[in-house]
């Protein structure tokens, strides 16, 4: 199960498991992001390199425009994956 939505304040909420079979559903939402916003991982249980790749591509596009994603509420397993990937240097994580 994977769900993604964007709140009125721009915060992107992800729920469930972002795996390679689900990443296409997330692409549509991230493609529309044009300015800095928060991505709330509170209800995201799992992510693999497919989701990391999407976040990275979005961040790269935003940083080139002087904007950025901020990631919040990562569970400890996902936080470790971000550290292994070196993404704690690519994203502001809190």
Partner 1 sequence: MSTEKSFAKSLGSLDGVFDFLQQFVDKEAIAERHAFAMNLVVEELFTNMVKYSGGTDKQVVIRLDKGDQRVTLELTDFDSEPFDPESVSAVDVEAPIEERRPGGLGLHLVKTLVDDLRYEMDDRTLTVSVTKSLES
Residues engaged in binding partner 1 (CB under 8 A): 17, 19-21, 46, 48-50, 52-53, 56-57, 59-60, 63, 76-77, 81, 84-86, 89-90
Q: How far is the CB of 77 from partner 1 (least distance, A)?
A: 4
CA torsion angle for 93, 78, 56, 27 (degrees, to 10)? -120
Task: Specify the residue, 6 or 19, whose C-beta has the smaller distance to partner 1.
Answer: 19
| Cα–Cα distance for residue pair 2/14, rounded to 1 Å | 7
CA nearest neighbour of 46 among 92, 94, 1, 93: 1
- Nearer CB in complex with partner 1: 28/86: 86
Q: How far is the CB of 9 from partner 1 (least distance, A)?
A: 25
Quote the least distance from Cβ 64 to partner 1, whole Å: 9
With a CB cutoff of 8 Å and minimum separation 6, the contacts of 94 are 70, 71, 72
């Amino acid at each position: 199960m994977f769900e993604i939505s964007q709140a009125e304040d721009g915060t992107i909420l992800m729920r469930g498991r972002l795996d390679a079979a689900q990443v296409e559903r997330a692409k549509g939402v991230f493609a529309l992001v044009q300015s800095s916003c928060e991505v709330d991982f509170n209800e995201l249980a799992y992510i693999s390199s497919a989701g990391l790749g999407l976040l990275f591509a979005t961040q790269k596009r935003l940083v080139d425009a002087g904007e950025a994603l901020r990631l919040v509420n990562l569970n400890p397993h996902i936080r470790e994956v971000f550290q292994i990937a070196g993404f704690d240097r690519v994203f502001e994580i809190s």
